[in-house]
Chain A
Amino acid sequence: MGKFPPKIAQGLCLCFFPFVSFRFNLANSLRGVALALLVGGLGLWLATGAHLGFTQTSVVTMKRDEITGIDYPERRPGFVAGIEFPLGTAGAAIVLALLSLAADRRNPAA
């Protein structure tokens, strides 16, 4: 078993568990927000059914009129997060992560 490079371990910890060894500086705050966005966007998308299309603010359920036999859509308000949610939040998280790296370079002592 080779020794795990401490710098990589530190980086992974910082990325995935920023609050474990949280220090109040700009870079860590940006990473925290990035992680929250990533988890929040993905979680919301999964929780509302992992819809691969665009976001829907109304939901259709099909019903049948007994006398005429007509199948008709009943539309009611409802929120289904679209694919733009995880993609958008992942994009924003990447931007924030890059900004956090820039903040690290500006102030390496922090």
Chain B
Amino acid sequence: MKIHHLARLPLLVATLGLSAQAAPLTFDFKDPKGVNNVQFSLDAPLESITGTGTGISGSVTFDPAQPAATKGKIILDTKSLTVGNPMMADHLRGGNWLDVANHPAITFEAVSLTNVRTQGNVVNAEVAGKLTVKGVTKDIKVPVSFTHLPDKLGARVNDPKVKGDLLVLRANFTINRADFGIQPGKNTDKVAETIQLSLSIAGAAPKA
């Protein structure tokens, strides 16, 4: 009887190992390296207005075995948004546009994933979620690619003793500023209503 149980032990260990590997991981997107960024671009008569935002935080729970169950929230500090022209940057953060004093964050909360396609360590999906800009929340769908990099955290922080995984999220999508109450129908001759957004962020899930 005892021998019979012992014979099952490797199977039990293997099962536990697999379930531990398949457990959902929570990735923290507060990036100490300052690499995480969102880039935005708006058409204007003289030039495309392009800018960046780097104040990104939030967390995403991702299970490589069940990517469709991914949930999470990404937060962008609006004070971190900037453009090359200082006057334009002041206008961008001012009350008429993003009003960063009263709306310090832009958030995106993932609700569900559809059209999930996995290829190696890359998962592509349509993420449905709630985007909040300037206090206005809208349901949107965003095509997102998730790249799972197992055991790469140590290499990223230049410390091989640190164990953990990385998750890289990339998304390119457009929003309409009028949908979020940003100068709706105004200044369309100076700045387009459509804003192109490009998000490239990496989150870390340390292992104990």
**A binding-site residues for B, Cβ under 8 Å:** 52-60, 65, 67-73, 75, 80, 82-83
Cβ contacts A to B, 15 pairs, < 8 Å: A53-B46, A57-B85, A57-B86, A58-B82, A65-B35, A67-B166, A68-B147, A68-B168, A68-B202, A70-B36, A73-B52, A75-B52, A75-B82, A80-B84, A82-B85
Q: State which residues 2-54 of B face A: CB under 8 Å.
A: 33-37, 39, 46-47, 52
**In contact, B202 and A70 (Cβ under 8 angstroms):** yes
**B binding-site residues for A, Cβ under 8 Å:** 33-37, 39, 46-47, 52, 82, 84-88, 147, 149, 152, 155-156, 166, 168, 200-202
**In contact, B155 and A59 (Cβ under 8 angstroms):** no
Beyond the given A54-B87, A70-B168, A72-B35, please list 7 additional residue pairs across the A-B interface where CB-CB is below 8 A. A67-B149, A67-B166, A68-B166, A68-B202, A72-B200, A73-B37, A80-B84
Q: Across the interface, name the chain B residue whose C-beta is closest to A56.
A: B84
User: In the complex the two chains form, what is the Cα distance from A54 to B92 in whole Å?
Assistant: 15
**In contact, A56 and B200 (Cβ under 8 angstroms):** no
Contact residues in B for A60 (Cβ distance below 8 Å): 52, 84
Contact residues in A for B39 (Cβ distance below 8 Å): 73
Measured between C-beta atoms, what is the minimum distance from B123 to chain A in Å? Answer: 15
**In contact, B156 and A55 (Cβ under 8 angstroms):** no
**In contact, A65 and B202 (Cβ under 8 angstroms):** yes
**In contact, B46 and A83 (Cβ under 8 angstroms):** yes
Contact residues in B for A80 (Cβ distance below 8 Å): 84
Nearest 5 CB-CB pairs, A to B?
A: A53-B47, A56-B84, A68-B202, A67-B156, A70-B200
Contact residues in A for B147 (Cβ distance below 8 Å): 68-69
User: In the complex the two chains form, what is the Cα distance from A56 to B85 in whole Å?
Assistant: 5
